[in-house]
Structure 1
Amino acid sequence: MITTDDLRFFLSLAVTRSLAEAARALDVTPPAVTQRLHALEKRLGVRLVNRSGRGTALTDEGRLLALRAEQICGELGDLADELAGRRGVVAGHLRVVAPLGFGQRYIAGLVAEFRGHSENVTASLTLSDGPPRLAADDWDVMVHIGELRDSTLVAYPLAPNRRVLCASPAYLARRGAPAKPEDLRGHDCIALRENDEDVTLWRFKQGRGAAVGVRVSPVLSSNAGETAVEWALAGHGIIVRSEWDVAAHVRERRLVPLLASWSLPQANVVALVKSRQELPARTAGFLAHLRAAFATPPWREKP
């Protein structure tokens, strides 16, 4: 026999690319995820996940379980909403998805805070260091940064977020500062590989002039924003990074903004939902909580 907790566990595992990523999303250790998966497979008598050096992939039985689990959990959520609506209370299970670094720093606390104000709500937060592979019924609110590729989703603006070209004082003392975007071709650059973007093409604009694209050859690259920023702080090169991640370093002069008269494409923060139709009370309430929290971006100094 399997429980709804088993189904939710397997759904969390099904949308990640490795057991380690699933462990981070569930806030447990990788051995705990492996042990629970093995126990579930033993109870069901089938293999659900194939594991390799490249990550994880669902078996046919795993895909069937994920599909039915999604349906069952969705129906349970709908039932909870309907019953809650009859009682006039905010209730049910809230599913939030956010980028890994931003979610840890700014969203995790807000999810817990909202749950603390709504005793009939349970909540889960899925954090991903890449584009999440989620089915339509796997989430209620998705926090997204940057360009939005899925035009079917409804976006609620949360906060402005500039991209910043910067380097440490130690790097600039050693190599000097670029005077124009094209100079970056002769500098040590650090690339952050995320969201399937072309991370070696850095695009700049000056006033109303035409955009200038510079193809850099990174000396270092990572899919983890924290690692890329640490490399820049250590003087290993120039980085393009979101304002939310480097604003404090810039204020404290650990990183220096470059090419001040040029701008990079914005990477604004939005909250996504799947429809403009009437939202469950818990989803609408959490959206309001998010928008109030980001009315003044927490990474910007208060006037």
Structure 2
Amino acid sequence: MDRLQAMSVFAAVCDTGSFAAAARRLGLSPPVVTRTVSSLESHIGVRLLQRTTRSLHLTDAGTRYLDQVRRVLAEVDAAEDIARGEQERPRGRLVISAPLTFGRMHVAALLRRYLAAYPDVVAELQLNDRNVSLIEEGVDIAIRLGALGDSSLVARPLGSTRRVLVASPAYLAARGRPAAPEAIAGHDTIAFGPVHANGDWLFADPHDPARELRIAIAARLSTNSAEAAIDHARESGGLVRALHYQVAAHLATGELEVLLPEFERPPSPIHAVYPSARMLPARVRAFLDLALADGVRAY
């Protein structure tokens, strides 16, 4: 049995959801695909797939094995890239994932510079606010904001971003400027996002960095859109907490002002994450190098 071929067949079956669909993708007959997976299970000594007349389901062992298979196949693809000369010159397809607003404001501009420098690369930029599964979704690099959970991914720090409390000058002139986080209770507040809409606002105690100040808010406006929340604040709708890069342009024009900077918590890190540091194709290394050079400042 060709174990690498068997792994590829097994991954195709999982990707397509059936032996017949995997056979069509691979240009094999369905019986060959079925025998290959059965041989792989016999070789390993565990059942990887539960089969019924209508569906296939991964067993717990199959789920764990599939994750490792995808990593092995990714390494093989990288090795073949080397053989084709992609380690010397960036070429091929690069897939980047990034948070929606940060990706639109910063990663897209970085990618434009990258594509101008490397004409043999084609790129796909996926913007969404969920943590994608890099290997399963074919993503080369993901940009992630905030603390990273335990992961087998490689992480490279790019910079950091502050979470700031802001309001418009007109709102502050009418309602006053809060002198401490506790004073927020007397103000209109704006919340956005699934976490912030119903959660407390957290601040740091400048006299005791280990102490956390937790302020309960009852938002006048809650929304799942950062842009809508920030626009409402610009129109004197109240106080809003946002990441600095989301409001930087409005701070520069004076439409918004930062409040209580001495109570800000430590900045949130920004990382580039990718599956493996071994045998990186040149197109991936070149983008990382550009991102690292660009990301030394805080956003």
Shared fold (TM-score greater than 0.5)?
Answer: yes
What TM-score do you get using the length of structure 2 for normalisation? Answer: 0.68
Partner of 1:239: 240
Partner of 2:157: 157
Aligned-residue offset at 1:75: 9.5
Q: Is the 8 A contact 1:84 1:90 kept in 2?
A: no
- 1:150 and 1:204 map into 2 onto residues whose CA distance is 25
- Amino acid in the other structure paired with 1:240: R
Deviations 1:256-278 (A, max 9, x none): 11123211342232211223334
Q: 1:162 to 1:75 in 2, by over 3 A?
A: closer
Q: How does 1:59-98 map to 2 (within 5 A)?
A: 78=78, 81-85=81-85, 88-98=88-98
- Amino acid in the other structure paired with 1:254: E
- 1:226 and 1:76 map into 2 onto residues whose CA distance is 42
Q: Is the 8 A contact 2:158 2:295 kept in 1?
A: yes
- Amino acid in the other structure paired with 2:124: S
- Amino acid in the other structure paired with 2:153: L
Q: 1:87 to 1:252 in 2, by over 3 A?
A: closer
Q: SS at 2:85's partner residue?
A: helix
Q: Which runs of 4+ in 1 moved over 4 A?
A: 73-80, 196-199
Partner of 2:268: 267
Q: 1:268 to 1:165 in 2, by over 3 A?
A: same
Q: SS at 2:262's partner residue?
A: coil
Partner of 2:186: 186
- 1:258 and 1:104 map into 2 onto residues whose CA distance is 26
Partner of 1:114: 114
Aligned-residue offset at 1:121: 1.6
Q: SS at 1:95's partner residue?
A: strand
Deviations 1:77-133 (A, max 9, x none): 6586244337832222111001111111111122132122222221110001x2144
Q: 1:86 to 1:262 in 2, by over 3 A?
A: closer
Q: SS at 2:173's partner residue?
A: helix
- 2:230 and 2:238 map into 1 onto residues whose CA distance is 10
Q: 1:120 to 1:205 in 2, by over 3 A?
A: same
Partner of 2:126: 126
Q: 1:197 to 1:76 in 2, by over 3 A?
A: farther
Partner of 1:256: 257
Q: 1:86 to 1:117 in 2, by over 3 A?
A: closer
Partner of 1:212: 213
Percentage of matched positions with identical amino acids: 33
User: RMSD of aligned C-alpha atoms?
Assistant: 3.0
Q: Is the 8 A contact 2:93 2:123 kept in 1?
A: yes
Partner of 2:287: 286
- 2:198 and 2:107 map into 1 onto residues whose CA distance is 25
Q: SS at 1:122's partner residue?
A: strand
Show structure 2 runs of 5+ residues with no match.
Answer: 1-14, 16-53, 59-65
Deviations 1:231-287 (A, max 9, x none): 110111101111112223223321111123211342232211223334222111100
Aligned-residue offset at 1:197: 6.0
Q: SS at 1:184's partner residue?
A: helix
Partner of 1:28: none
Aligned-residue offset at 1:213: 0.7
Give aligned pairs, total.
232
Deviations 1:213-241 (A, max 9, x none): 11111111222221111111011110111
Which has more radius of gyration? 2
- 1:150 and 1:229 map into 2 onto residues whose CA distance is 32
- Amino acid in the other structure paired with 1:242: L
Q: 1:80 to 1:221 in 2, by over 3 A?
A: farther
- Amino acid in the other structure paired with 2:140: D
